[in-house]
Amino acid sequence: LPQHRVLNWNLFGGDTIEVLKTARHPRKLRLGALQGNCFRLRLRDVTHPEELVARLELIKQGVPNYFGEQRFGQDGGNLQKGLELLRGERKERQRAKKGMYISAVRSWCFNHLLSQRIDQNLWGTLLVGDALMLSGSKSTFVAEAIDPETVQRLADGDVNLTGAMWGRGEPLNIGDSRQWEAQQLQPWSEVLERLEHLGLRQERRSLRLQPLGLEAEAESERQWWLQFELPSGAFATSVLRELVEAKTAEQNTGK
């Protein structure tokens, strides 16, 4: 922000958000500068604390790395607008909004691949030609064959399976893996072609999200603190959906 501009933070948030402290940074933060986020969340109305603790242990090795609902907008509005843009049914002059809508389409395609991999019992199964990503890194390599060492590394969480973030260029995966993804996305081939024409680069995203420092602490019988760390681009809601049946503050108040 310009040095002379002062924001009134009292206008931000509401009953559920409070800004505790602000400070000006000497450099402008660029897109992608974020390394990760730390979360500390209060869970209210916990009905089965023993199940919460048990699930916590189960998911420490990873959860499905879905894009959260907020990526798609209220009632999927961003996704719908993105599809309309690709079909030429909508114009959008604001670059940021256009990028948000198109990103929703790419994210939905990824979520579909991830969902199908889970439904077909392939989330933890290595296919020939899978593109694997090193845990905690964006470095990838292709599994040209199914060897015991790679299978064990996948089971240990040292490497993760990936899914396509669609765009221009050859997919990194090959063989059975590429054929499987093509089959899952075939009904949306026209959408994929239009994404390619936008010049977006073909990328890969890990199918597994590994939360760091995942812990839960009882504050009272029905109230718990949950904390964990996630890399940039990951959604806390993807962790919560594997732990609890969560309701937002708006849902609880009937708004």
CA distances (Å), 109 to each of 45, 170, 192, 205, 232, in order?
34, 17, 9, 12, 19
Claim to verify: residue 72 and residue 193 sit in the same structural domain? yes
Claim to verify: residue 100 and residue 148 sit in the same structural domain? yes
CA 168 remoteness from chain centre: 21
Sequence letter at residue 162: T
Claim to verify: residue 145 and residue 89 sit in the same structural domain? yes
Q: pTM value? A: 0.85
Residue pair 105/195 in contact (Cβ under 8 Å)? The answer is yes
Claim to verify: residue 170 and residue 84 sit in the same structural domain? yes
Residue pair 184/207 in contact (Cβ under 8 Å)? The answer is no
133 three-class SS: strand
- Could you give the number of structural domains in the chain? 2
DSSP 237: H
| Calpha distance 186→6 (Å, rounded) | 50
DSSP 123: T
Q: In the structure encoding, which two tokens stand for residue 95, read together?
A: 């670059």
Claim to verify: residue 71 and residue 196 sit in the same structural domain? yes
Claim to verify: residue 35 and residue 53 sit in the same structural domain? yes
Write out the chain's pLDDT in tens, 255 residues.
455 667 777 777 667 777 777 777 777 766 555 668 899 999 999 999 999 999 999 898 899 999 999 999 999 999 999 999 999 999 999 999 999 999 999 999 999 999 999 999 999 999 999 999 999 888 999 999 999 999 999 999 999 999 999 999 999 999 999 999 999 999 999 999 999 999 889 999 999 999 999 999 999 989 999 999 999 889 999 999 998 886 655 555 454
**Alpha-carbon torsion 181, 112, 100, 1, what sign?**
negative
E-strand ranges in the chain read 36-43, 63-64, 131-134, 140-142, 159-165, 203-206, 208-209, 212-220, 223-231
| Calpha distance 248→141 (Å, rounded) | 39
Claim to verify: residue 182 and residue 77 sit in the same structural domain? yes
7 three-class SS: coil
Q: What is the span of the domain harbouring residue 144? A: 67-121+140-155+162-203
Is 223 within a domain? yes
